[in-house]
Amino acid sequence: MEFFKIQRDIPFMRHALVFNIISFVTFALAVVFLFTRGLHLSVEFTGGTLMEVNYTQSADIGKIRSTVEGLGLKDVQVQSFGSTRDVMIRLPAQKGVSTAQQSDTVLAALKAASSDVTLRRTEFVGPQVGEELAQDGLKALAMVVLGIMIYLAFRFEWKYAVAAIIANLHDVVIILGFFAFFQWEFSLPVLAAVLAVLGYSVNESVVIFDRIRENFRRYRKMNTVEIINNAITSTISRTIITHGCTQIMVLSMLLFGGPTLFYFALALTIGILFGIYSSVFVAASIAMWLGIKREDLIKGPVKKEDPNDPNAGAAV
């Protein structure tokens, strides 16, 4: 399925150096922000108080959140679970204030706003748990990266694996850089979005690499630059359809999902946009500079050119 078909290949690789310089500067700034500002970690990572409360009628999440924030508490997470009457509240740790004192203060404010609220349970999520979650997240990220490299090395060639993983890490670091610069809350859902972007971005790179391999078999008179330009141009329609449909769904979560899904959808949005950019201008460019050639991919007989194909053997 194609929305349109471009008759003449777009010379993407002609501007590869300029776009990769832009990518490097953006990447460097993201790293600087991560080291200077750091991530604004949520309660799951830093520790804090977890409260579960129950209402006799459906709870107003927005009213509960404003009530708790009215106590001067920031980065409060309020969400329904189980039913519309059950609410989970996560509170950041406060110096000099115990879990019991914090939960009593919050419960008193909730009862003042609505008398039908009851406390189900309260517990303290300690820093040790937060540290373990952070370590598990880094381990998961490392395993994803390693798995992607092994997969691409077997399916294509090591040069493609290196190019794709550099492009994908470029996306991840830039997402983290945005969260560090704006001090948006980095929670477990955001971490899940970052891991999802890794898989989503590598899928786009694989599509382009697969078309490059097909072109090497088909167009024997084209050089590597022309092969890459043709591969990217011929997959543009597919890219628009895939990423456009995905972004529509993510945009609905961003606009209508509420505070619980906002940063998750925001991380996905940034990742989708930079994933398209990196697959075209970073992954393909690095693969070109690493010296990919026809012999790297073609192990068997080369497919003959179609004499009726206007692109066969033609330079762009």
**H or E segment at 165?**
helix 158-182
Whether 241 has a pLDDT exceeding 60, the answer reads: yes
204-226: average pLDDT: 88
Whether 301 has a pLDDT exceeding 90, the answer reads: no
Whether 109 has a pLDDT exceeding 80, the answer reads: yes
**H or E segment at 66?**
helix 61-69
- The pLDDT of residue 302 is 46
Of the candidate CATH numbers 2.40.50.100, 3.40.50.800, 3.30.70.3400, 3.40.50.2000, the domain formed by 48-125 belongs to 3.30.70.3400
- The pLDDT of residue 248 is 93
Whether 174 has a pLDDT exceeding 90, the answer reads: yes
Token digits of residue 22: 């832009």
Least confident of 84-98, 190-204, 297-311: 297-311
Whether 29 has a pLDDT exceeding 70, the answer reads: yes
Token digits of residue 47: 């520790």
What's the N-to-C CA distance of the chain in angstroms?
A: 24
Listing DSSP states for 90-105 in one string gives: EEE--TT--HHHHHHH
The Cα 102–Cα 91 span in angstroms is 8
Whether 7 has a pLDDT exceeding 50, the answer reads: yes
Whether 268 has a pLDDT exceeding 50, the answer reads: yes
* Per-chain mean pLDDT for the chain: 84
Whether 8 has a pLDDT exceeding 70, the answer reads: yes
Residue carrying structure tokens 């409060």: 76
Compare 307 and 45 and report the one with higher pLDDT: 45
- The pLDDT of residue 114 is 86
Per residue in 30-77, pLDDT tens? 999 999 999 888 877 777 888 999 998 888 888 998 999 888 887 788
Whether 137 has a pLDDT exceeding 80, the answer reads: no
- The pLDDT of residue 309 is 53
The Cα 108–Cα 95 span in angstroms is 20
The Cα 192–Cα 267 span in angstroms is 9
Per residue in 74-101, pLDDT tens? 778 888 877 888 998 888 887 778 888 8
* % of the chain with per-residue pLDDT over 70: 91
The Cα 93–Cα 73 span in angstroms is 10
Per residue in 286-297, pLDDT tens? 999 988 887 766
- The pLDDT of residue 91 is 87
Token digits of residue 6: 């471009």
SS3 state at 40: strand
- The pLDDT of residue 315 is 41
143-172: average pLDDT: 84
Centre a 10 Å sphere on the Cβ of residue 191 and count the other Cβ atoms it contains.
22
Give CB contacts under 8 A, 24+ apart, made by 137-145: 137/188, 137/191, 140/195, 141/172, 141/194, 141/195, 141/198, 144/195, 144/198, 144/199, 145/169, 145/198
Alpha-carbon distances of 272 from 185, 240, 267, 288, rounded to whole Å: 19, 11, 9, 23
156-163: average pLDDT: 85
Domain ranges, ordered by start, for the chain: 12-39+130-297, 48-125
- The pLDDT of residue 314 is 46
pTM confidence score? 0.78
201-228: average pLDDT: 87
Give the architecture (CATH level 2) of 12-39+130-297.
Up-down Bundle (1.20)
Report phi then psi at 315, rounded to 5.
Answer: -90, 150
The Cα 302–Cα 293 span in angstroms is 14
Give Cβ neighbours of residue 168 (< 8 Å, ≥ 6 apart).
145, 148, 198, 201, 202, 205, 278
- The pLDDT of residue 1 is 53
Amino acid 93 reads A
User: Under a CB-based contact definition with an 8 Å cutoff, are residues 118 and 108 in contact?
Assistant: no
